[in-house]
A and B are shown apart, each in its own frame.
Chain A
Amino acid sequence: MKLLKRPLEAWGMFLIFALIVVIGTASFFIKWMPPLASNRISIDQMMNVLFIITGIFFVLVQGLTGYFIWKYSDQNKERSTYIPGSYALEVTWTLGTAIILAVLGIWGVKVWKKTVIQAPPPNALQVEVVAQQFSWSFLYPGPDGVFGKLNPKYISFLNPLGIDPKDSAGKQDVWTKDDLYLPVGKPVVLRIRSLDVVHSFFVPAFRVKQDAVPGMTISTWFIPEKKGKYEIACSQFCGRGHYTMRGTCFVVSNVRFQKELAHLRKEDEGE
């Protein structure tokens, strides 16, 4: 009969809140993110710290709410206590939250500067990434290290990127479709652009995502650190075939990378 001091609803809510806390928290111990394959470890560290901080709040707030619902549903109690507020409590939790968020904010600024704003090392490999409905093209400069101009007016079946035939710098540029080759351990700058609509270059394993916006060339850089094959996704809805716009990134040894480029140049001359 003691149980019935509280209505069934109180037990129901208590149970659901308990399940939210237990299952919600436990499920974040599974490693959902794909293993990191680039130098952007600071993003992973940030995620881990955020899991811990938000996790503590999650358990505390959901847990206490569930417990309060159960505890204060006691119908034997005569009346609620009249408590319109508490200056001390309110100031404490306002300041507490503000301090935690300020620390997070400063840290976020630091990591953002390091991953996005900081200039790439000067020896970085430059690759031009051109998105269009629904494929990726990757353009590598010739041995001169300089890209030829791209101009959409030269786009044709054989020249889908519109490499300017009059620009001598472009003569030895080579391009691949949907396959991106990168040498392991070498910084790479992706110069991302789009021919038609907004796309987004996303490789989950690299923690790299950057929109491709027509009319703009947007650079992002990172260092691929593990050899292997990684899927490139388009993460911005770009039309009917959005779900088909997948590329593949091959992170290979430098020797193999040079071989691939040489092979591509040969193919180019063969034409």
Chain B
Amino acid sequence: MTVDKQVERHHKIPGFWQHYIFSTNHKVIGIQYLITAFASALIAAGMAMLIRLEIAWPEHSWPILGTLFPGAFPGGVMRPEVYAALFTMHGTLMVFFFLSAALVGGFGNFLIPLQIGADDMAFPFLNMLSYWVYLTGLLVMLSSFFFSPGGPASAGWTSYPPLSALKTAIAGSDWGQSFWIVGMAFFIISFTMGGLNFVTTVLSMRTRGMHMMRLPLTTWALFTTAAVGILAFPALTAAVVMLFLDRHFGTSFFLPSGLYVAGKLLPNKGGSPLLWQHLFWFLGHPEVYIVMLPAMGFTSDILSTFCRKPIFGYPAMVGSILAIGSLSFIVWGHHMFVSGMNPYLGLFFDITTLIIAVPSAIKTFNWMATLWEAKIQLRTPMLFALAFVSLFVTGGLSGIFLAMAPADIQLHDTYFVISHFHFIMAGASLFGIFAATNFWFPKMFGRMMNETLGKFHFWITFITYYCTFFPMMFLGLHGEMRRLYDPVQYYTMFKSLQPINVFISINAFALGAAQLVFVFNFFWSMLRGEKASANPWNANGLEWTLSSPLPYENWEGNSPEVQRWPYDYSYPGAAKDYLPQVVPEQAAAGNY
């Protein structure tokens, strides 16, 4: 019987191209997304290193860079246009092509069918298409470094027009901005395909017994994220189309009359630069939660597993995921307190932003309460998840300053903001990704990630992350603005802060270098790591009932029947300290 089954299964596995390259299998697509996203993160992190080099030692000559990139570093000194291109592409690649892609495309694809007991996504072909469209978008973005006259887009990842609309305003707004628009359009299309797939899959393909309130929080978060993405991204789609028309077809969506740029009066009439800001942030703020929510989900599941305790307050956790998802649509104006929008709107966004802090606080307290009375196992995924909580708290509390409109007057566009979102959106999500990668790696590749290397990577990353981003708050309080090519040549008020910038940069370099340990560990463990058992962490989710590495088809049609929620750790009376979701009530005391 078993032999027959194996033979049958063997026949279903397609050849190399269909299996590894043009695959419609959610697991392969998830890994493709993840590895591509890591590659763009490495590129974007490299850019951050150059940015930090310039800020700490502005306009210093580095002969080696002059030799390597004579165009960008004439005489070894970075050109201001290059600096602008670097921070623009750093932000774009990190937010969209790394964080969103890794969390949603990577883990979303990999985990959703496994955790709900489905064999694959609802639309496997659409899923494959989503990855290839994403990759195309990434290649378009990156190609602007080589093929675009004037270099890549340089108007910041927010691309505010008129700067992004007029090629005479900055070099990067020549062809670079068009590459950016096209790259973003591909990304949005890809994200929409993925999102539709996720929502449909979670709603219609859950296995028997897996009702919504038995879903792991990871799936809840990924589901909500997908829904938020589908609803929020169209605003940016509309915006980039309008920007493209403004740039190439003489329309004036974002261009008012009386623009006088580079010695010329422009013929545009009637547009509003603020319209872009509203459209951009209508996506831009939900986007923050698109990358936050999945990381929150991972953290909840990982904390629970390594605390050997149920996640504290599961219904409240689900409720706050949904609350954050919905509220994320009515807070965008807090990016625009000083933009010149009607100041009465500021009142509204001030209040809504503080309201969204409530579900975030609930989640934090629940994570802390999960630790309470636990027997904690400090494995690598757990360390990252705990650090996530710390970063989330630091970022969240600094967010209250920015939510308060009057305080934001002082802090807007300063390093305080940079610090804030590198803790909460970038940092916490990054740590969520590290936690999840270490946690689900055995399912992906059938091997464990090396624990020693993992912990080494963790300690360096956690410490240098704080040392890099915490001091930025002080710069911001003093008033130092973001995006300054040279903070001290013109402004005397920032001279005394320059040692802080040097300190930050040195830590940033260490932080960057530590990521190479992770890259090494990832690939080394994939090939040479210790072989993993089916359930190496003794976890409860459905994915752990399958072999490691996973079979090509998850359940081969014999989908499991779910008997309980995924958080029965240390269940009173059970023999073992975990009860997988498939264990029936009456069997709990016996076998488990």
Interface residue ranges, A against B (CB under 8 Å): 7, 9-10, 12-13, 16-17, 20, 24, 27, 30, 32-34, 42-43, 46-47, 50, 53-54, 57-58, 61-62, 64-65, 68-69, 72-75, 77-86, 89-90, 93-94, 97-98, 101-102, 104-105, 108-109, 111-113, 115-117, 132-133, 151-153, 155, 162, 195-198, 200, 202, 204, 207-211, 213-216, 218, 231, 233-246
A54-B400, A80-B309, A152-B260 known; A69 and B371 CB under 8 Å?
A: yes
Residue of B nearest to A9 (CB): B378
Residues of A close to B531: CB separation below 8 A = none
Complex CA distance for A62 and B358, rounded to whole angstroms: 18
Complex CA distance for A67 and B459, rounded to whole angstroms: 18
Residues of B close to A34: CB separation below 8 A = 478-479, 493
Complex CA distance for A37 and B591, rounded to whole angstroms: 73
Q: Are B570 and A108 in contact (CB under 8 A)?
A: no
Complex CA distance for A53 and B361, rounded to whole angstroms: 14
Contact check: which of A58, A73, A151 meets B376 at CB < 8 Å?
A: A73
Q: Are B312 and A84 in contact (CB under 8 A)?
A: yes
In the complex, the number of residue pairs spanning A and B with C-beta atoms less than 8 Å apart equals: 317
Residues of A close to B274: CB separation below 8 A = 213, 216
Q: Can you give 18 A-B contacts (C-beta < 8 A)? A: A13-B378, A24-B394, A24-B470, A47-B410, A57-B393, A80-B577, A82-B570, A94-B362, A102-B354, A104-B404, A112-B350, A115-B406, A115-B409, A116-B406, A209-B338, A209-B413, A215-B272, A243-B490
Residues of A close to B310: CB separation below 8 A = 82-85
Q: How large is the interface on B (under 10, 10 to 19, 20 to 34, 35 or more residues)?
A: 35 or more
Known contacts A46-B406, A82-B569, A116-B343, then 4 further A-B pairs from the complex at CB < 8 Å, ordered by chain A residue: A13-B378, A69-B371, A197-B163, A197-B166
Q: Are B393 and A62 in contact (CB under 8 A)?
A: yes
Contact check: which of B155, B273, B362, B567 meets A214 at CB < 8 Å?
A: B273
Q: Are A152 and B162 in contact (CB under 8 A)?
A: no
Residue of A nearest to B398 (CB): A54
B315 contacts chain A at the CB level, 8 A cutoff: yes
Q: Are B314 and A50 in contact (CB under 8 A)?
A: no
Complex CA distance for A7 and B455, rounded to whole angstroms: 13
Residues of B close to A98: CB separation below 8 A = 358
Q: Are A72 and B307 in contact (CB under 8 A)?
A: yes
The stretch from B32-40, B42-50, B138-146, B383-391 touching chain A is: B383-391
Contact check: which of B309, B346, B365 meets A82 at CB < 8 Å?
A: B309
Complex CA distance for A16 and B389, rounded to whole angstroms: 13
Complex CA distance for A72 and B362, rounded to whole angstroms: 21
CB distance from B463 to the nearest CB of A (A): 7
Q: Are A152 and B259 in contact (CB under 8 A)?
A: yes
Residues of A close to B374: CB separation below 8 A = 72, 80-81
A80-B570, A115-B406, A152-B258 known; A237 and B373 CB under 8 Å?
A: no
Q: Mark B454-493, 1 if CB is under 8 A from A, else 0.
A: 0100010011001000100010011101111111011111
Q: Mark B240-263, 1 if CB is under 8 A from A, else 0.
A: 000000000000000011111100
Q: Are B314 and A237 in contact (CB under 8 A)?
A: no
Q: Are B397 and A46 in contact (CB under 8 A)?
A: no
A9-B383, A47-B401, A152-B258 known; A108 and B406 CB under 8 Å?
A: yes
Q: Are B171 and A32 in contact (CB under 8 A)?
A: no
CB distance from A160 to the nearest CB of B (A): 9
Give residues 114-173 of B contacting A (CB, 8 Å). 155-156, 160-163, 166, 169-171
A33-B478, A89-B369, A243-B489 known; A20 and B466 CB under 8 Å?
A: yes
Q: Are B340 and A218 in contact (CB under 8 A)?
A: yes
Give residues 272-314 of B contacting A (CB, 8 Å). 272-274, 307-314
Contact check: which of B156, B338, B354 meets A237 at CB < 8 Å?
A: B156
Give residues 300-355 of B contacting A (CB, 8 Å). 307-316, 338-340, 343-344, 346-347, 350-351, 354-355
Q: Are A27 and B474 in contact (CB under 8 A)?
A: yes
Q: Are A84 and B485 in contact (CB under 8 A)?
A: no
Residues of B close to A85: CB separation below 8 A = 310, 312-316, 366
Q: Are A112 and B362 in contact (CB under 8 A)?
A: no
Q: Are A81 and B260 in contact (CB under 8 A)?
A: no
Q: Are A152 and B265 in contact (CB under 8 A)?
A: yes
Q: Are A202 and B350 in contact (CB under 8 A)?
A: no
Contact check: which of B257, B258, B394, B406 meets A43 at CB < 8 Å?
A: B406
Contact check: which of A81, A115, A234, A243 meets B485 at CB < 8 Å?
A: A243
Q: Are A72 and B375 in contact (CB under 8 A)?
A: yes
CB distance from B417 to the nearest CB of A (A): 10
A93-B365, A239-B163 known; A211 and B316 CB under 8 Å?
A: no
Query: Lowest 7 CB-CB distances: which A-B pairs, in order?
Result: A215-B256, A204-B479, A32-B477, A9-B378, A68-B371, A81-B373, A85-B313
A109-B347, A112-B350, A200-B338 known; A58 and B397 CB under 8 Å?
A: yes
Q: Are A240 and B80 in contact (CB under 8 A)?
A: yes
A152-B259, A198-B163, A233-B491 known; A80 and B401 CB under 8 Å?
A: no
Interface residue ranges, B against A (CB under 8 Å): 80-81, 84, 155-156, 160-163, 166, 169-171, 256-261, 265, 271-274, 307-316, 338-340, 343-344, 346-347, 350-351, 354-355, 357-358, 361-362, 364-366, 368-369, 371-376, 378, 383, 386, 389-390, 393-394, 397-398, 400-401, 403-407, 409-410, 412-414, 455, 459, 462-463, 466, 470, 474, 477-479, 481-487, 489-493, 567, 569-572, 577
Q: Are B371 and A162 in contact (CB under 8 A)?
A: no
CB distance from B259 to the nearest CB of A (A): 6
CB distance from B338 to the nearest CB of A (A): 5
Residue of A nearest to B79 (CB): A240
Q: Are B362 and A97 in contact (CB under 8 A)?
A: yes
Complex CA distance for A94 and B577, rounded to whole angstroms: 30
Q: Are A209 and B409 in contact (CB under 8 A)?
A: yes
Residues of A close to B256: CB separation below 8 A = 214-216
A85-B315, A204-B479 known; A196 and B371 CB under 8 Å?
A: no
Residue of B nearest to A81 (CB): B373
Contact check: which of B258, B314, B361, B572 meets A97 at CB < 8 Å?
A: B361
Q: Are A198 and B162 in contact (CB under 8 A)?
A: yes
Complex CA distance for A141 and B570, rounded to whole angstroms: 77
Q: Are A112 and B376 in contact (CB under 8 A)?
A: no
Q: Are A231 and B169 in contact (CB under 8 A)?
A: no
CB distance from B501 to the nearest CB of A (A): 14
A85-B314, A204-B410 known; A238 and B163 CB under 8 Å?
A: yes
Residues of B close to A197: CB separation below 8 A = 160-163, 166, 169, 261
Residues of B close to A7: CB separation below 8 A = 378
Residues of B close to A231: CB separation below 8 A = 491-493
Complex CA distance for A152 and B255, rounded to whole angstroms: 14
A13-B386, A94-B358, A233-B479 known; A79 and B375 CB under 8 Å?
A: yes
A72-B376, A112-B346, A200-B413 known; A46 and B309 CB under 8 Å?
A: no
